[in-house]
Structure 1
């Protein structure tokens, strides 16, 4: 068994068994309609489902929006999220459901209402949550993959920034010890366990799915294992907190929901910060790089510290910047490419497109490791 969080170790073993399965067949609207109708015939007798439509975006889940009319209630919109056989991430619907429930009332999140963690009804594990209105990018941003180089611009940037910092601070300062998180295991054996578990999980995914063997990946893996920092106060790490993963009202700039909690775990808050420093998740205008298009790096760090009360350690931040470049390569050039090659995902074209960013992360890793050598 891999030395990682027990729930993640079980996921790693389960995905090995899925590798030999035949290609994944995307769900047709009519099939989804039948699945939902039979599901709610049991859960809410007398209800009806209508307005089913596929939601675009994402590189791991099939998503559908629909309207549910329950007896005696006004019709409401919901979102169905179902696993493909494989995707750009390896995650759990039960963990996603639980963490969203935990953060209700803490930060704006969609309410997860129904869970089918073991695929007892749906073809694969699924969760149904409320539909929250909002957009992930301004209409002026044009056609792009959501969250990659998104430009909020003014005045949206100024309206969103205070909420952005406040929500991230609330996530990191959340008292998870009182939240009853049964789907998560706290890494408390020693101060290095949180990050050691993290490295072992992604290292195993790389070993399972590597399409090519990049020498710098081996060097980065060894460096990460040799320099694991202490994590004195583990917190909830969102795992993918960036522009593109929250909804906002374009007119007012109000954030309506924080999305994509599926990579959440308990660990070092610097991991979230290092993820956001990846160049692909920011904007570069007139030579100025803005983290998540919110603010330049130093201003962004200072604003986070002021909002959270957490001091950012430059050494740990560098470590997790290296880690997240390494993780990003694994996501796009290992997991994503294997899912496309095995036809185990409904977004094989998008996954193949995203794999083209792999050399960028290799270059980032080489640059970051050279910086370390020059210290």
Structure 2
């Protein structure tokens, strides 16, 4: 069977970058080579079919307000008003707008003003994901861990320029107000010696809660493919997801990426427990109240899946999310605790064990994901001018080589 590159070289415009204007044959070849979850197949296929379309162009607040009105009226009718519509900063991959909604409430029986957030995709994101999955999961997690109430979803961009969802506004900060940093949120985030122990315990306790709840919540997640104890099918689908993204987005091939992919497929471990996996589990992806030191809301569930808890642990231990303690003696995982203490505290609070060999597998996997996101999609989105966050995605593309070096070192430990 011909590979994807040989298919596109027969095009009349073969001198162009084939991934910038993919043919139907190119798209279908990649879909066959790398089977993924049903909803992710839809999302990634849609991305490729729209790839040769226009890049990002500014969308006005008036346009987004009009789209939000259409989405809300489709769900609750016309008895509402919007006010204080404003841009929200933050978020490396989505367009976010805050507003207040005066309405009769979720039950339709009490007039109230509710602060809300519209979260919408740009033409392409540094991670291409499903608003429907995000919507379902946040609703399912309500009452288990702090998450915003999730109200409405425009999964196919029928009311807004691109797929979007609307959820409740949660007060809090992602980092201490005293922290003066120009880093991307989460990179080397230092909570300081006073906040650190208070947040660390809540962080690990709440991670343990959604890790325990995978099998229980799975029936409420119809846009997630299932995962089974004793099977490694969900793991292989996950590895294929990111290998597929690499094939769709890369500028050039990289033997190290292919080596990592082959090793990950060959060594994919069967699940020992089905967890809700956050997918971007780390400091900087939750809000907290600085006065009470309480976590008020978990953010950015777009990469979530049903899978292995060790993926979240490995991601939270990624080199980029560590820093040294003030005395210079310990490297703190996600800015919280030294490695052994971090894992022991997770086991104590979650009631789930940590398998060090399995954790090593997922350390390779999250490094693999990081290389794909930065060196594949970061490059592609910046090159195509597809996002409002052009500086951020260009920076991600720039740091690909040190991340690839981390993947090489991690692979050497297991080979």
TM-score normalised over the length of structure 2: 0.86
Structure 1, unpaired ranges of 5+ = none
Q: Work out whether 1:176 is the aligned partner of 2:215.
A: yes
Q: Work out whether 1:27 is the aligned partner of 2:54.
A: no
Deviation at 1:37, TM superposition (A): 3.7
Q: Which residue pairs with 1:95 in the alignment?
A: 133
- CA distance in structure 1 between the aligned counterparts of 2:276 and 2:70, rounded to whole angstroms: 36
1:149 corresponds to which of 169, 188, 191:
188
Report the secondary structure of 1:107's partner residue.
coil
Q: Deviations over 1:125-181 (max 9, x none)?
A: 110000000000001221321111110012111111111111011011015345421
Q: Work out whether 1:365 is the aligned partner of 2:402.
A: no
Q: Which residue pairs with 1:259 in the alignment?
A: 299
Q: Contact 1:100–1:110 (CA<8 Å) still a contact in 2?
A: yes
Structure 2, unpaired ranges of 5+ = 1-31, 105-109
Deviation at 1:282, TM superposition (A): 1.9
Q: Which residue pairs with 2:351 in the alignment?
A: 309
- CA distance in structure 1 between the aligned counterparts of 2:187 and 2:391, rounded to whole angstroms: 17
Q: Which residue pairs with 2:243 in the alignment?
A: 203
Report the secondary structure of 2:296's partner residue.
strand
Q: Which residue pairs with 1:341 in the alignment?
A: 383
Change (3 A) 1:37 1:23: same
Q: Which residue pairs with 2:83 in the alignment?
A: 50
Q: Work out whether 1:16 is the aligned partner of 2:55.
A: no
Change (3 A) 1:190 1:302: closer
TM-score normalised over the length of structure 1: 0.95
Q: Which residue pairs with 2:267 in the alignment?
A: 227
Q: In the comparison of the two structures, how many residue pairs are matched?
A: 373
Q: Contact 1:191–1:231 (CA<8 Å) still a contact in 2?
A: yes
Deviation at 1:339, TM superposition (A): 1.0
- CA distance in structure 2 between the aligned counterparts of 1:153 and 1:27, rounded to whole angstroms: 38
Q: Work out whether 1:62 is the aligned partner of 2:106.
A: no
Deviation at 1:41, TM superposition (A): 4.8
Q: Deviations over 1:170-199 (max 9, x none)?
A: 011015345421111113396111110101
Q: Which has the higher contact order (CA 8 A, sep 6+)?
A: 1
Q: Deviations over 1:191-212 (max 9, x none)?
A: 1111101011110000111124
Q: How does 1:70-89 map to 2 (within 5 A)?
A: 70=103, 73-89=111-127
Change (3 A) 1:3 1:187: farther
Report the secondary structure of 1:236's partner residue.
strand
- CA distance in structure 2 between the aligned counterparts of 1:149 and 1:355, rounded to whole angstroms: 19
- CA distance in structure 1 between the aligned counterparts of 2:354 and 2:317, rounded to whole angstroms: 13
Q: Which residue pairs with 1:268 in the alignment?
A: 308
- CA distance in structure 2 between the aligned counterparts of 1:58 and 1:361, rounded to whole angstroms: 21
Deviation at 1:59, TM superposition (A): 2.0
